[in-house]
Amino acid sequence: MSKEKATLGGGCFWCIEAVFQLLEGVEKVVSGYCGGHIENPSYREVCSATSGHIEVVEITFDSEKISYPELLEVFWTIHDPTTRDRQGNDKGSQYRSVIFYHNESQKSLAQQSISEVATQLYDDPIVTELRPVEKFYAAEAEHQDFYQTNPSYGYCRVMIDPKIAKIRAKFMNRIKSPHKYV
């Protein structure tokens, strides 16, 4: 087994976490914060835009079962990489589209994915930032596995359910089986 990490931000981490947890080869998804200037920020500090952090997920995956480019293809599908500091009704710099790469190979693959995959999916310019990974801080316990523990919560129904449906339709062959919310 070849374990790697990917760190991605594309709006609310609850949405991204729920989708990546579905995928075969993904072993662990942790919601958290990256890219800011203070140690161990709280959700309140991140949402107030005082810490400079971005809501992200840290994905541990088996690259023999799912590749980094495949993860990025899912990433482009579940958020809008053409809007700066906004995803749907979520507004603020903590919701920006960003790929934190862990090595030069990931950086190169991300650049290639932006130019070859994302630009084919969207007409507007891609504003996704590409940055080296910085210190990752796991979010508070109540933010972990949020969709799995709160599937009937209004935000989940309105924002996450459509993303799950889109992934099921486009990537059904990549979904873990059985999965409790497929």
* 99-113 pLDDT tens trace: 999 999 999 999 999
Q: Provide the whole-model pTM.
A: 0.95
| 24-42 mean pLDDT | 97
Q: Beta partners for 32?
A: 56, 138
Mean of all residue pLDDT scores within the chain: 94
Residue 128 phi/psi, 5° resolution?
-60, 130
Query: In the predicted model, is pLDDT for residue 156 greater than 60?
Result: yes
Catalytic residue set: 12
For position 67, what pLDDT does the model report?
Answer: 97
- Angle of CA points 34, 50, 28, to nearest 5°: 25
Select 3-174's CATH number: 3.50.50.60, 3.30.1060.10, 2.60.40.1120, 2.40.10.10: 3.30.1060.10
